[in-house]
Amino acid sequence: MHSFELFLPDNIKDASLRGGPNAVFKAAGTDLLDRLKERIENPETLINLLEFKKDLAGINPQAGGFDIGSLTSIHDIASSASLAGPEWRALKQAAETTATPQIRNRGTLGGNLLQKTRCWYLRSEAFKCLHGGRGPSCLAVDGENRYHSVMGTLDCMRVHPSNLAPALYVLGAELSTQSGEESNRFPIAELYPELPLASEAEHTLSDNEILTHIHIPAAVTGTSTAYVESREKLSFDWATTAAAVLLVMKGKAILSGRICLGAVAPNPIPCDQAAEMLAGQDASMELFGKVAAAAYAKAVPLAQNEYKIELGKAVLRDALAQASGLR
């Protein structure tokens, strides 16, 4: 890696004030360290947010929901007794499937939401990747694209790798950030760029904006959630497709639902139209099949990833079946 200045701030404000175009915030650093060593990230200053971990780690009940600090470890979410109910299950399932025990112990919720894509063209400086600012066009378009996007793309075929983001989407999470003295609160959808161009980062935070808390609102009676992802192996793999769902049930009847897909597009993809098909219906695999088809209706595969569409539908059906109690 290139040499850099390591800044150890006392508090969020100091950290934020040191932010800028040539600085990088570091949470656990599980991925950042790799990118530094590969020299695809070459900051002048590294700002270590773990200095004030005690202020930003923890799962605190709040008005029937939770405020979760952005530096809470993935393991703490996966093992939290507070999140044991069916209404929070999607979040726990997403946390449990993340990476490895070592990374779950160290890695943070904030880091998971703000991850860089795993696209192999981005992650090697030898490739003239558009998203990496090294070339004129996306190499995955007609390159090796078995793991790339099947929807929601513009000029970059990357997929968003966060498995916790889809779960937080369906839970209706909001995020708090701080920039200097100023704090801000907004729905999770606004964390991701409206138009995920290659020139856009994976998230919309500004250079000096620090994600501090994730707020999960209270759940309506009858809420049940689930998160399912497909992968090629069970130990340490990235999802090939993922789905998080929230259902509000009364007996067998679904009063309303929410769906968010992961690992199939540059952003997590909420599927409101497909979710509307659930409202007022009785849970059945037939219904879930139709909903899954609708969620993927606009998917357009690249040369090597058509399988992801069928797989994505299966995963979504499974998530709906789990949330509704059919499985």
Q: Which residues would be at the binding site for another protein (CB under 8 A)?
A: 1-3, 34, 39, 100, 118, 120-121, 124, 126-127, 139, 143-144, 146, 230-237, 240, 307, 310-311, 314-315, 317-318
Distance between the two ends of the chain, CA-based, in angstroms?
Answer: 48
Specify the residue, 13 or 146, whose C-beta has the smaller distance to another protein: 146
- In whole angstroms, the minimum distance from the beta carbon of 231 to another protein comes to 8
Specify the residue, 128 or 252, whose C-beta has the smaller distance to another protein: 128
CA distances from 154 to 123, 129, 138, 150, 200 (A): 20, 15, 10, 11, 11
- In whole angstroms, the minimum distance from the beta carbon of 311 to another protein comes to 6
- In whole angstroms, the minimum distance from the beta carbon of 142 to another protein comes to 9
The tokens for 87 are 């209404």
- In whole angstroms, the minimum distance from the beta carbon of 243 to another protein comes to 12
- In whole angstroms, the minimum distance from the beta carbon of 40 to another protein comes to 12
Which one, of 151, 159, 153, lies nearest residue 306 by Cα?
A: 151
Residues 160 and 129: their CA atoms lie apart, in Å, by: 16
Tell me if 90 sits within 8 A of 52, measured CB to CB. no
Residues 123 and 129: their CA atoms lie apart, in Å, by: 9
Specify the residue, 66 or 296, whose C-beta has the smaller distance to another protein: 296
- In whole angstroms, the minimum distance from the beta carbon of 41 to another protein comes to 15
Task: Give the helix/strand (H/E) hosting 69.
Answer: strand 65-69
Tell me if 119 sits within 8 A of 130, measured CB to CB. no
- In whole angstroms, the minimum distance from the beta carbon of 316 to another protein comes to 11
Task: Give the helix/strand (H/E) hosting 59.
Answer: strand 59-62
Specify the residue, 81 or 126, whose C-beta has the smaller distance to another protein: 126
Tell me if 127 sits within 8 A of 158, measured CB to CB. no
Specify the residue, 72 or 241, whose C-beta has the smaller distance to another protein: 241
Provide the Cα torsion 115, 139, 146, 165; round to 10°: 20
Classify residue 21 by burial, with Cβ atoms within 10 Å: 0-12, 13-18, 19+: exposed
CA distances from 212 to 27, 56, 92, 108, 120 (A): 11, 6, 20, 11, 30
- In whole angstroms, the minimum distance from the beta carbon of 199 to another protein comes to 23
Coil vs helix vs strand at 94 = helix
Angle at Cα 244 formed by Cα 209 and Cα 121, nearest 5°? 60
Residues 133 and 152: their CA atoms lie apart, in Å, by: 21
Specify the residue, 140 or 165, whose C-beta has the smaller distance to another protein: 140
- In whole angstroms, the minimum distance from the beta carbon of 101 to another protein comes to 10
Specify the residue, 218 or 326, whose C-beta has the smaller distance to another protein: 326
Specify the residue, 100 or 221, whose C-beta has the smaller distance to another protein: 100
The tokens for 49 are 């947010």
Specify the residue, 99 or 164, whose C-beta has the smaller distance to another protein: 99
